[in-house]
Amino acid sequence: MGTGPTAKTVETVLARANHTCERCGRAGQPCQVHHRRPRGMGGSRRPGTNKPSNLLLLCAPCHTAVESSRQISHEQGWLVRQEHDPADRAVWVARRGWVFLDDNGNYENEEAA
């Protein structure tokens, strides 16, 4: 059994991001689904791990940058600490600024949440 998101969830994230990197905003590059709250070794059974609020679409260079610059990534919401709920943590998204991600594949303005 896989530990990643379902195909439907991936499609939700792709649609939300309009198939562009949510960190840099560049289109036309292959992107990867990134877990804001990491799965940990061998995946996770924790509820919410594979929900859209915990997932970002990132191009390979941005994914590498997020994983290698962890302090900045936490400050920007691209990474979320294990004790936090990603749905309650704002994230900086290119061309949108600070938003919250919901589990229906929507962005919510920080002021509205």
Domain positions in the chain: 7-109
CA distance 100 to 35: 15
pTM of the model: 0.90
Mean pLDDT of 2-10: 90
Using only the alpha carbons of the chain, give its radius of gyration. Answer: 13
Residues 92 and 49: beta-carbon distance below 8 Å = no
Q: Which residue has the higher pLDDT, 45 or 75?
A: 75
Mean pLDDT of 16-39: 95
pLDDT tens string 81-104: 988 999 999 999 999 999 999 999
Instruction: Give the per-residue pLDDT at 99.
Output: 98
pLDDT tens string 50-75: 999 999 999 999 999 999 999 999 99
- Is residue 47's pLDDT more than 80? no
